[in-house]
Amino acid sequence: MNQTTKNKICFGLGTVGRDALYSLVSMYLLVHLTDVVKFSDGGLAVIGVMLTLFGVFDAIIDPFVGAIVDNTKTKWGKFKPWILIGMIGTGILTILMFHNFDMSETSHIILLAVTYLLFSIFFSLNDISYWSLMPAISKDQSVRESVGAFARICANVGMFAMVLSYTQIPTWFAPLGINARDAYFISAIVITIIMWIFQSVTLFGVKEDRSHLEATEKTTIK
């Protein structure tokens, strides 16, 4: 297998577990809190406002994250260190968001606020650095387009796998005597591990061509 093909496969596979994990949080966190954790109406109202505000924060923080990534310089490049940091952070925070700890609703909301806010930051670090890695794979536009197309296919595989499996998770664990909340907590751990494995394929399998990136203009915060 030549390096171009290896880059394409290793880069694309990095999205499978990551998009499955992101779909779990973005599509099903509120469903989980409503149907599984069974928050009160007041608690859900607070969470709804909180998630809306954090959505605005996420849009504001992206340019700053992009500037941080663009101005990074290490022997591992500017992108891979942030992919690694982002994948570890988002994985741990996802597990905490789907935890099965015994705590009051107020304490749960506080923990959720902290973890969701940090999740937004760490996922932005991972997402921006991951997709910014693509121009470093090849100078050839047609190669980059092919890599991007394969990555989108892999991302859809991860997303649809989560969509199809989410409602079945309690059923899979029921024969073991595990309740729905514990089942989703265990599943969050499993999905996190899967995400780390696939992202590691990108980290160790993709070889960058940095020759045309060194002379590019640096992005300032302004």
Q: Which two tokens stand for residue 93?
A: 């925070």
| Structure-token match 């099965």, residue found | 100
Angle between helical axes of 180-205 and 3-31 (0-180°, round to 10): 160
| Per-residue model confidence as pLDDT tens digits over 151-200 | 999 999 999 999 999 999 999 999 999 999 999 999 999 999 999 999 99
In this prediction, residue 210 has a pLDDT band, given cuts at 50, 70 and 90, of low
Sign of CA dihedral 99, 160, 169, 38: positive
CA distance 138 to 201: 18
Closest CA to 58 of 90, 98, 106: 90
Secondary structure of the chain as H, E, C letters:
CCHHHHHHHHHHHHHHHHHHHHHHHHHHHHHHHHHHCCCCHHHHHHHHHHHHHHHHHHHHHHHHHHHHHHCCCCCCCCCHHHHHHHHHHHHHHHHHHCCCCCCCHHHHHHHHHHHHHHHHHHHHHHHHHHHHCHHHCCCCHHHHHHHHHHHHHHHHHHHHHHHHHHHHHHHHHHHHCCCHHHHHHHHHHHHHHHHHHHHHHHHHHCCCCCCCCCCCCCCCCC
pLDDT in tens, 66-84: 888 888 888 888 889 999 9
Pick the closest to residue 192 from 25, 11, 10 (CA basis): 25
What is the pTM for the complete model shown?
A: 0.89
Per-residue tokens: 149: 């197309």
Banded model confidence at residue 29, pLDDT cuts 50, 70, 90? very high
Q: What is the pLDDT of residue 24?
A: 95
Report pLDDT for 151. 93
